[in-house]
């Protein structure tokens, strides 16, 4: 098994302190994941210029952080694994709500290019693409537990396989197997059509 990174060890310590009632540890946990959430949101929102016009990366991160803060008021994760899963869930929910919101806002707008159903951005951010993202996040939320955890750590939280393996207490090979199974299941659930 891979040696824990300083970042992983710090997360373990913060989760332990938070579980023991240290409020400062909760704030530090939120700060620790903000960068990961920002990188993820930036990567995903790039594909939606029309969404980006109304909500930027900071908006997505802020929404996910508000959700995570509220969740931490109700749930006290017992491990870094549980915390990472909780954070991934909040990102999924924020992205799902964002995709749904912009889908409803875009429906009824005139389509600028009837051949491509594109709104002239070249980014594929029309209602169909946004709806596909909404379905993608909903399908990710419905994955079996191990697959959802591995997928959440890698896709939503931006961890490496080695970091995910440490957080989940399994081998990198197992993380990869769960990831591959999650990807196959998502492709199947979405009828082979994945968002860009």
**Residue 180, in any domain of the structure:** yes
Domain that holds residue 124: 6-189
Answer whether 52's CB lies under 8 Å from 119's CB: no
Helix residue ranges, H only, the chain: 6-19, 23-45, 49-54, 57-74, 80-106, 127-141, 145-151, 161-168, 172-189
**Residue 194, in any domain of the structure:** no
Q: What is the mean pLDDT of the chain?
A: 78
The CA-CA-CA angle for residues 27, 31, 37, to 5°, reads: 130
Answer whether 119's CB lies under 8 Å from 50's CB: yes
The tokens for 50 are 């029309």
- pLDDT, position 113: 35
**Residue 87, in any domain of the structure:** yes
- Which of 58-72, 114-128, 136-150, 159-173 has the weakest average pLDDT? 114-128
Average pLDDT over residues 161-186: 92
- Which of 15-19, 86-90, 114-118, 128-132 has the weakest average pLDDT? 114-118
**Residue 108, in any domain of the structure:** yes
- pLDDT, position 122: 38
- pLDDT, position 64: 86
Higher pLDDT, 178 or 3: 178
**Residue 195, in any domain of the structure:** no
Which of 30, 84, 100, 101 minimizes the C-alpha distance to 61? Answer: 30
Higher pLDDT, 122 or 166: 166
Higher pLDDT, 2 or 86: 86
**Residue 71, in any domain of the structure:** yes
Number of domains making up the chain: 1
């Amino acid at each position: 098994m891979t040696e824990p990174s300083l970042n992983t060890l710090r997360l373990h310590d913060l989760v332990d302190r938070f579980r023991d009632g240290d409020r400062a540890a909760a704030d530090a946990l939120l700060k620790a994941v903000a960068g990961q959430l920002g990188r993820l949101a930036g990567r995903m929102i790039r594909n939606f210029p029309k969404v980006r016009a109304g909500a930027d990366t900071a908006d997505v991160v802020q929404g996910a952080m508000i959700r995570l803060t509220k969740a931490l008021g109700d749930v006290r994760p017992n491990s870094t694994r549980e915390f990472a899963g909780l954070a991934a869930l909040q990102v999924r929910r924020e992205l799902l709500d964002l995709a749904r919101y912009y889908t409803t806002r875009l429906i009824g707008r005139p389509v600028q290019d009837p051949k491509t159903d594109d709104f002239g951005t070249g980014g594929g951010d029309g209602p169909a693409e946004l709806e596909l993202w909404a379905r993608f996040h909903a399908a990710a939320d419905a994955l079996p537990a191990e697959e959802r955890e591995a997928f959440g750590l890698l896709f939503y939280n931006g961890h490496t396989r080695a970091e995910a393996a440490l957080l989940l207490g399994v081998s990198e090979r197992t993380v990869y197997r769960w990831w591959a199974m999650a990807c196959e299941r998502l492709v199947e659930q979405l009828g082979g059509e994945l968002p860009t």
